[in-house]
Chains A and B, each alone.
Chain A
Amino acid sequence: MKKKLSVLKEAQLFVEKFEGALGKGKGKKFYAYKVMMTKKWMKFQRDFENFKTACIPWEMKIKEIESHFGSSVASYFIFLRWMYGINMILFGLTFGLVMVPEALMGKPYGSLPRKTVPRAEEASAMNFATLWDFSGFAQYSVLFYGYYNNQRTIGWLKFRMPLSYFLVGVGTIGYSFMIVIRTMARNANEDGGGDDTSFNFSWKMFTSWDYLIGNPETADNKFASITTSFKEAIVEEQESRKEENIHLTRFLRVLANFLALCTLAGSGYLIFFVVRRSQKFALEGLENYGWWERNEVNMVMSLLGMFCPTLFDVISSLENYHPRIALRWQLGRIFALFLGNLYTFIIALMDEINLKLEEEKIVKYNMSIWEANLYNGTIPENSTAPPIQVDPADVPRGPCWETMVGQEFVRLTVSDTMTTYITILIGDFLRAVFVRFFNYCWCWDLEYGFPSYSEFDISGNVLGLIFNQGMIWMGSFYAPCLPAINVFRLHTSMYLQCWAVMCCNVPQERVFKASRSNNFYMAMLLFILFLSTLPAVYTIVSIPPSFDCGPFSGKTRMFEVISETLEHDFPSWFGKVFGYASNPGLILPFILLMVLSIYYLNATSKSYKEANLELKKKLQSVRNRELLKK
């Protein structure tokens, strides 16, 4: 450090001595000004960096967890914090550009039919049960799609509400893609470059001790696990593993995979069945059924997400794999489970949307009859009638399928959150309490045998977080309140899980990181992001919006708002240019060019990898030659 300080001082003196000399002549004043601005800019940058690091929340909490549990458990909390940051930005976008303008500048509650609770529901609109279910007043508010008016501009600022709604929806997805890919690229730079088993012992020796550990119990665990890992590596090195009974192992593995497939198929069918049942209930009127029937779909999905991973765990004990490979299989199966559940849910939603579209046609027809009835008997038919004042609450409504979709996602998120919290409280906390206090009067040692304290399930939690985010991405176009709910959920999750980990969990006995790099989880997040945008994009492009609710009512397709804006707000030549640019004759060659460039980049990267491998082999052979010479 002393050397660094002295070098720094020398360099600074040198710069000060000679910087005046550089500015001699014509450009002296300008040069001096430039130098001063550069210095000010650097100072500003440094202050900004200081400010940014001061803003990072929960640093001390994560440090405590790291010192007790090591870096792998803490990586989950760092991931959670990163997700919280993303959700804050999404919340800022939806809140600031969609919810606030409508609330401040749009027509108030009660002025339009779409903004008022229907007469029939008014009595129960303020009940807690209705609000918890996100109907009643919650449904007819800025929280959901249906409240927004389709006026092209609102307020004195001429804020273009439908355009803003559409662009915010697209922008949230675009921003999420950008940030996930940027993080992946950054991680990929740090990564050594793929799997490499040639430094097995060296890495065990020099990178197995976790410098973050600051707790004696964790340190003991770490020493034990390092010793075991060395012993295993030595045994593997000294003798080739004797396959005890290869046929039995193979048979058991096939059986295990078959059981896992059955579980996946069973859970998919169960969800499908439950959604069909809930449609039946909805047709017969939800008032006849109790709480379970109303929330059946969400509860079943959450319960499946809770129990199936444990089932997969049990099945994997048949397989007898190396723990790292077993963990990979486990992750793959849980991923398939969540994916299957999510997509079954979406397919069921699509069915409901189609049903609502049918219903809409009937309602439109009924509305024309109702309007005719209003005018009936008051004026002769061939004179222009003044519009009759009808209270907005009495106007018959179309079924607003977008609000329905938004509500479903919000309910799913809420029930998912509740299930997670209850699982933590029961599965971890009550179990720990039971083990601690009943240990005195129990026949066997509860702390060492079954059930003992639980370990923190990193992969399960990370997957849960990723899928939760997928649901937010899917639903936030139809329910602008979803990012807000998610921010709240992540905030409370952080505190609850930090407390639960420190209070009820023990450090893991054998630490196997699921992936060689963080990019594994990032890749899954990217995949889920892509899958989440598909349903939203499909509904935007091919399903007509409801005729009487939402900012796109009256249009044949939601994306027409863009063409409308181009017509009205931009000069005419812009519209022409855009028309030429969106010509399929131009877009198709562009897509072809992009595909070809991806192919080219892929080919070059493959060739680099091969060159890398060749060089490694050459290095190895040179070493061998040297060894033989000796």
Chain B
Amino acid sequence: MGNKQTVFTPEQLDAYQDCTFFTRKEILRLFYRYRDLAPQLVPLDYTDKPDVTLPYELIGSMPELKDNPFRQRIAEVFSENGDGNMTLDDFLDMFSVLSEMAPRDLKAYYAFKIYDFNNDDYICKSDLEKTVNKLTRNELTPEEVSLVCEKVIYEADVDNDGKLSLEDFQHMIIRAPDFLSTFHIRI
């Protein structure tokens, strides 16, 4: 293919193609989307691997993410130090996992990390409560929220420790018919 671009070296592009589910054209397109968020911060030449991080506010204002109630958690999970500020690598990684080519297991792994608000490798009752409130925008009464969380733990908790581990979550979500189609962002 014609090497008309000067943003990445060919080795970099190949490495990105190996590490994500994107093709060359898509990676370049994503780079330009990343750059459009802050043209003055992101250089046009990535051959020397500059260390550029975009703050969370810019990422969260992207049209694909701005209406998503979990955008903060998504950015935190895919950013390097968990604060939501993302480099280009994190950006590519995020959209690669959320693309339709990513397999079910990979998506389940990252979904677990997204819904684990306190980062303790378990989805406990407080995480569930936060999820429900984000989903319904606090429209449910506390009793209803509590009931829903108890039901979820009852349904999915296999090892009976009162919280969902990664295995519980994966076991439950792999069977969901809608999971692949809803846990998907097209960019």
Contact = CB atoms under 8 A, between A and B. Distances in A.
Contacts of B184: 71, 211-212
B176 A207 contact: yes
Q: Which of A209, A213, A216 has the most CB of B within 10 A?
A: A209
Interface in B137-187: 137, 139-140, 144, 147-148, 151-152, 155-156, 158, 160, 172-187
B26 interface: yes
Contacts of A203: 172, 176, 178-179
Contacts of A202: 152, 155-156, 172-173, 176
A66 interface: yes
Contacts of B182: 71, 207-212
B186 A623 contact: no
A4 interface: yes
B151 A201 contact: yes
A561 to B, nearest CB: 45
B80 interface: yes
B38 interface: no
A626 B162 CA distance: 12
B137 A223 contact: yes
A206 B176 contact: yes
B70 interface: yes
Q: Which of A202, A214, A216, A517 has the most CB of B within 10 A?
A: A202
A237 B26 contact: no
Contacts of A191: 177
Interface string A361-386: 00000000000000000000000000
Determine the main DSSP class of B at the interface with A. helix
A5 B67 CA distance: 31
Interface residues of A, number: 60
Interface in B103-122: 104, 111, 115
Contact of B176 (A47, A67, A199, A237): A199
A219 interface: yes
Contacts of B139: 223, 227
Interface string B76-95: 00001000000001101100
Given A191-B177, A517-B177, A1 B152 contact: no
Contacts of A190: 104, 180
A320 interface: no
A47 B1 contact: yes
Interface stretch (A30-38, A49-57, A499-507): A49-57
Contacts of B137: 223, 227
B174 A46 contact: no
Interface of B: 1, 15, 17-19, 23-26, 63-64, 66-70, 80, 89-90, 92-93, 98, 104, 111, 115, 128, 131-132, 135-137, 139-140, 144, 147-148, 151-152, 155-156, 158, 160, 172-187
